Each structure stands twice: as C-alpha cells, then as structure tokens.
C-alpha cells in the first residue's frame, strides 16, 4: 500500500471535500460523544442503584433514578438520530461532489485515456468507489469518536466501581491492537480483488447488452455464460475472503474479553477482593459492555482500508492528465484553409508511427477525399484536426495559425464531424439534432436542418415526429436514419470545416442515396475532408489523397489518379470489377 493513501492519510486527503460542511461534522461529533456518554452513564448508575437504592431501600432515590434513566434514554435516542442524520447528509454531499468531479474530469480527459480503460472500470469508479469511500469514512468516524469515547467512559466507570478489577482491562489492550493490525494487513488484498471483480462484472454486463445481436448470431451464449460465471465466481470468492478476514476480529476479541471476565469472577470467588454487589455489578457490566467498542475499534482499520483503496482509485483517476488546452486565441470566424506540414504521429500504445511526414494543403471551400487501405492512417488525419490527439512532429495550421494556439472549444466549434459509428443519446430526435446547443436554436431551426439532411422523410412518418424517443444510442432507428440525424446535427451548427469519416460505408443503396444527398447539402460552402471506402462517393472531390502505410503516396483528382495506374487505380478497378 502506498504511503500516500494509507489509513489515516485517507481522511487528510478527504478533508478538503469535508471542510465546507464542517458544521454538520461538528454537530455529528458532539452527538456521538453525547451518545457514548449516556451509554457509559447508564452503566455507572448500576452501583448507586444497587448499593444505595435497593440495599438501603431508599425509594426516593429509586424514583429519582427512574426519571434520570428516562432522560438519558431520550438523550441517547436523540443523539443517535442527530449523528446519523448529520453524517448521512455530510456523506451525501461528499459523494455528490466527488462524482461530479470525476465525471467532469472524464469529460476533459483525452480520448487516448478513455480508449485504454474499460467502461466497467470507469463506471465502477464513479458509482461504487465513491460510495465506498464515503461510507468507509463515515463508519470510521463513528467508530473512532463514539467507540473511543464509550471505551474511555467505561474505563472511568470501572475504575469508579473498583480500580483493582479495572486494571485487568489494561492487559487486554495490547492484544486488541495486535489483532487489529494482523487483520488489516490481510484485508486490503481481498478488498482490491473485490473492487476489480465489480469492474469486470460491469464490463461483462455492458458488453453482453451492447453486443447482444453478435452473441446470438455467433451462437456465443455458452461462451458468454461461462465467461460471466468465471467473473462472478472470482467476485464471490473475493467477497468471501473479506467476510472471512473481517469476521476473525469478533470471536477473538470476545474470547480475550471473556478470559478477562473469568479472571474477575475468579478474584471475587476466591475472596481476594472485598467488593459490594453494586461495585461488582458495575465493573462486570462495564467489562461486558467494553467488548463492543473493543471489537469495533479493531474494525476501524478495516473501514480505513476500504477508504484507502477507494481513495487510491479516485484520486488516481483525478490525477490523470487532462487534454492539453494551452491555446489563447478564440477562433470565431475562419476562412477554412488547412495545412498539414510534415506531420508525424504515433499512438501511445504503438511503437510505429501511424503517420509519417505527411504534408498537404486544403483551400477554403475545397473538398478533399482521403482513401487507402484499412489502417493506412486516414482516420488518424481526421482525428488530429479537432485535436483528439496531439501530433508528435510537424504542424497543423488553420488560416496560417497552429491549431494549438486556438482554445479547444473554439477550434471544435468550427468543425463538423460525422463518423461511420454515429453515437446518439437517449432522448428525442430534436434533442439529438440540437445536442449540446439546445438553447441556441429554435424548433424551426431544428426542423430546417432535418429537412436539409433528408431526415424529415422518415421523421414525418413517426407518431411523435421530432419529439420521438429513439432509445439508447438510437436503437429504434436504422443505420441510414441515424446517419441523417448526425448530418442534421452538423447542418444546424453550420460549421465551416467538415469531416466525414466513412459516413456511408455501412448503408444500403437507398439509404446511401439519401445520405449522399444530405452530404452534398452539407458540403456547400464548406472546407471538407471525406474519408471514403466506396470510391464512387468521392469521384467528384476536388482532390483525392491516397494514404498508404501512414504516408501520402498519390495526389490528384479522380481522372488524374486513374491515368497514373497506381494504388488508386488498382483500388478503383478492384471495386468496380468485383
């Protein structure tokens, strides 16, 4: 375990999140102390109740005690309610703030980070780990404040009852400390395993739901069932280890405390000590009662271990680098001239560059197509312009300025992006077309964009029109319909630069025709970069760049490239002769 996130340091890391609500924390601590004091006071009343009340038949004192006990029980209940409410309110605030911070951090994280982490792991951090950290911290606070105060109160009560018998308690403490350390060391590993198991279960469930069609068509139900069984089994064993380790403390502490009680009874039975019934009862009762705080104090290490594991993952995520946004220029109005000047880029997970010394220019309003084999580097070029990734060498310029000089927000406001894998959000068609800018556009603006994208052709047939709910990731729409909504989304914003990343490659002929018409509407008066698999869709492009192995190997219009009998000509003949 790292020193940064060990037990008590977890609370130090949490303090900046707790401090804004410290009034609630102070009230909770006061209530916990009051709760412990009332419990200890109730036990201490045993001695005068027996020795002075019952033995001396002092009925007035008994009546006074009965009223006092009622008041103490009421205070006990009130303090318990107050501490529980304040800590729940406090932990709720901390959880909410933590989750928002993590969500905001992920929103600003680079795509490379999102790509190399599974959805299950990230969702687990947002949901489970935040809850675990808050609960562990509040539980640890309850144990540390109430149980320590209660144990101290019981010690005072025991010494008040009979100081000689109370000394027996001193011999218990070293054993309790040793047990707490022994169990805590073995608890962390089991907790980390359980945390991983939760992430694996979330990932497996997410993949099963999203890939349900593929599972059915490939008859992979048996494989998925066995895979999930293994993950589930690993998680069950992790839980069992936690229960096994944490469950050791209770019987061991009870055994040690029982031996101490037995020793007290032996001393009394052997008449080694002179003691009144009230003194014996109060010491005996306090000794029995002290078993609870001793047992709980051993578990505080376990709670802090839970908090430290959760803290490590949460702050570890919050410490990951965000997108680099050092630009100072707000890009508000551009011509749309683009230059790639000796650009080289290598993905973080690769050793071989995906792009090697690429250079080309695109003039304002020009349509340039990128073609090449799969993995040639076409999509990488498209991803570099909006700075989803930052280049290793060279420069990318828009209107003669390096794109790193522009703020990310203003740069991306100038770029419309339509990919093959369109992502739609769970909501209405109108919500998706106006996504991210709902308050900027009127309903008529949205409808007009849908018309230009040929989307009203199917929207008008729906019962609720543009207010139709489309389900998770637009599951209720066809591929062509989803593409047209994506195109409408870009048309609405009127971005001067357009990137189309194989936007028609997975469509049938009729859908492709409608989408292609929408794309032609979209390209008007825009600087366009089109990545195409079907060469028939880019024959009218002003220029075609052929990318092979991360390098620009051919450049020209459709006719020029055919006449060269190079890679483009081979690809064209292969497609139209098949």
Q: At what angle do helices 291-318 and 148-161 cross, to 10 degrees?
A: 160
By the 10 Å C-beta count (0-12 exposed, 13-18 middle, 19+ buried), 143 is classed as buried
The CA distance from 91 to 391, in Å, is 43
Residue for token pair 């218990």: 172
Q: Give the length of the chain.
A: 578
Which are the contacts of 507, defined by CB distance < 8 A and separation ≥ 6?
Answer: 479, 480, 483, 515
The secondary element (H helix, E strand) that includes residue 342 is strand 338-345
The helix (H) or strand (E) run that includes residue 401 is: strand 401-402
3-state secondary structure of 57: coil
What is the CB neighbour count within 10 angstroms for residue 39? 22
Helix (H) or strand (E) holding 357: strand 355-362
Reading the block at residue 91, the tokens are 């932990």
Helix (H) or strand (E) holding 200: helix 173-210
Report the C-alpha gap between 139 and 147 in whole angstroms. Answer: 11
The DSSP secondary-structure symbol of 500 reads E
DSSP letter (8 states) at residue 465: G
pLDDT value of residue 395: 94
Give residue 251's Cα distance to chain centre. Answer: 37
Q: CA dihedral in degrees (339, 341, 347, 350; nearest 10)?
A: 140
| Residue 368, both tokens | 């340039």
The architecture that CATH gives domain 338-577 is 3-Layer(aba) Sandwich (3.40)
Among residues 432, 421, 434, 355, the alpha carbon closest in space to that of 390 is found at: 355
The CA distance from 234 to 30, in Å, is 42
The answer to whether the CB of 343 falls within 8 A of the CB of 504 is no
Task: Show Cβ contacts of residue 511 under 8 Å, excluding neighbours closer than 6 positions.
Answer: 478, 479, 480, 481, 483
Beta strands in 112-192 (DSSP E): none
Counting DSSP H helices and E strands in the chain, the numbers are 24, 10
Look at residues 450, 475, 132 and name the one whose alpha carbon lies nearest to residue 309. 132
Q: Structural domain boundaries of the chain?
A: 3-318, 338-577
pLDDT digit string (tens) for the chain, length 578 residues: 344 555 556 667 777 888 888 898 899 889 988 988 888 888 877 777 776 666 667 667 777 778 888 888 899 899 989 988 988 888 888 888 888 888 889 888 888 888 888 777 788 788 878 877 777 777 777 777 887 888 788 778 777 777 766 676 666 666 666 666 666 666 666 666 776 777 788 778 877 776 765 677 667 788 888 888 888 888 888 777 777 766 666 677 667 667 766 776 776 676 666 667 767 777 777 777 777 777 677 666 666 777 777 787 888 888 888 888 888 888 888 888 999 999 999 988 788 889 999 999 999 989 999 998 888 889 899 999 999 898 889 999 999 899 999 998 899 889 888 887 788 888 899 998 988 877 888 999 999 888 888 888 889 988 899 999 988 778 888 888 888 888 888 888 888 898 988 766 555 566 667 767 777 777 777 898 988 877 877 888 899 999 998 999 999 999 999 999 999 999 888 877 65
What pTM, to 2 d.p., does this model score? 0.72
- The C-alpha angle with vertex 183 and arms to 177 and 186, in degrees rounded to 5, equals 145
Q: Pairing between strand 415-419 and 497-501?
A: parallel
Check if the beta carbon of residue 346 is closer than 8 Å to that of residue 384. Answer: no
d(CA 406, CA 414): 11
CATH topology of domain 3-318: ABC transporter transmembrane region fold (1.20.1560)
138-143, long-range: CB < 8 A, 24+ apart: 138/87, 138/88, 138/90, 138/91, 139/303, 140/11, 140/300, 140/303, 140/304, 140/307, 141/28, 141/29, 141/32, 141/87, 142/32, 142/83, 142/87, 143/296, 143/297, 143/299, 143/300, 143/303
Whether 3-318 and 338-577 share one fold: the answer is no
Query: Which residues is 361 bridged to in the sheet?
Result: 339
Name the strands in the sheet holding 393-398, side by side, starting at the edge strand that comes first in the sequence: 355-362, 338-345, 393-398, 401-402
373/353 Cα distance (integer angstroms):
16
- Whether the CB-CB separation of 93 and 138 falls below 8 Å is answered with no
Q: Which two tokens stand for residue 546?
A: 């052929």
Q: Which helix (H) or strand (E) holds 556?
A: strand 551-556
């Amino acid at each position: 375990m790292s020193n940064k996130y060990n037990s008590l340091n977890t609370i130090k890391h949490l303090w900046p999140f707790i401090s804004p609500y410290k009034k609630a924390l102070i009230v909770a601590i006061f209530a916990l102390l009051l709760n412990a004091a009332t419990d200890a006071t109730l036990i201490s009343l045993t001695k005068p109740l027996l020795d002075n009340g019952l033995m001396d038949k002092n009925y007035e004192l008994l009546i006074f005690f009965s009223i006092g006990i009622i008041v103490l029980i009421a205070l006990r209940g009130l303090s318990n309610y107050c501490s529980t409410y304040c800590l729940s309110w406090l932990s709720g605030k901390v959880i909410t703030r933590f989750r928002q911070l993590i969500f905001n951090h992920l929103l600003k994280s680079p795509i490379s980070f999102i790509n190399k982490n599974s959805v299950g792991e990230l969702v687990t951090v947002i949901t489970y780990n935040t809850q675990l950290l808050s609960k562990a911290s509040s539980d640890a606070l309850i144990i540390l404040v109430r149980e320590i105060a209660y144990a101290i109160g019981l010690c005072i009560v025991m010494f008040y009852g009979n100081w000689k018998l109370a000394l027996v308690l001193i011999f218990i403490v070293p054993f309790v400390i040793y047990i707490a350390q022994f169990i805590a060391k073995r608890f962390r590993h089991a907790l980390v395993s359980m945390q991983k198991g939760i992430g694996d279960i979330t990932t497996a469930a997410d993949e099963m739901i999203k890939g349900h069609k593929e599972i059915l068509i490939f008859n992979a139900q048996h494989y998925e069932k066995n895979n999930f069984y293994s993950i589930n089994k690993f998680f069950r064993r992790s839980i069992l280890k936690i229960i096994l380790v944490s469950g050791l403390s209770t019987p061991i502490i009870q055994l040690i405390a029982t031996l101490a009680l037995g020793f007290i009874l032996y001393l009394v039975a052997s008449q080694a000590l002179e003691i009144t019934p009230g003194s014996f009862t109060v010491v005996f009762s306090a000794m029995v009662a002290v078993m609870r705080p001793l047992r709980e104090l051993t578990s505080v290490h376990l709670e802090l271990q839970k908090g430290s594991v959760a803290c490590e993952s949460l702050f570890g995520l919050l410490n990951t680098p965000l997108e680099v946004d050092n630009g100072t220029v707000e890009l508000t109005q551009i011509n749309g001239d683009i230059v790639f000047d000796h650009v080289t880029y290598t993905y973080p997970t690769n050793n071989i560059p995906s792009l090697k010394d690429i250079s080309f220019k695109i003039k304002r309003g020009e349509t340039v197509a990128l073609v090449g084999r799969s993995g040639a580097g076409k999509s990488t070029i498209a991803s570099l312009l909006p700075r989803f990734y930052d280049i290793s060498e060279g420069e990318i310029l828009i209107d003669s300025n390096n794109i790193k000089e522009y703020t990310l927000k203003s740069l991306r406001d100038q770029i419309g992006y339509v990919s093959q894998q369109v992502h739609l959000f769970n909501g209405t068609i109108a919500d998706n077309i106006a996504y991210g800018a709902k308050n900027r556009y009127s309903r008529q603006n949205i409808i007009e964009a849908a018309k230009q994208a040929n989307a009203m052709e199917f929207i008008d047939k729906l019962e609720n029109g543009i207010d139709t709910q489309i389900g998770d990731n637009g599951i209720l729409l066809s591929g062509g319909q989803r593409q047209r909504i994506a195109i409408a989304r870009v048309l609405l914003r009127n971005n001067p630069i357009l990137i189309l990343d194989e936007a028609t490659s997975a469509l049938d002929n009729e859908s492709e025709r409608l989408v292609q018409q929408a794309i032609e509407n979209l390209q008007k008066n825009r600087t366009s970069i089109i990545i195409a698999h079907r060469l028939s869709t880019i024959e009218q492009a002003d220029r075609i760049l052929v990318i092979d192995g991360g390098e620009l190997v051919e450049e020209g219009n459709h006719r020029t490239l055919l006449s060269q009998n190079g890679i483009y000509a081979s690809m064209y003949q292969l497609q139209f002769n098949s």
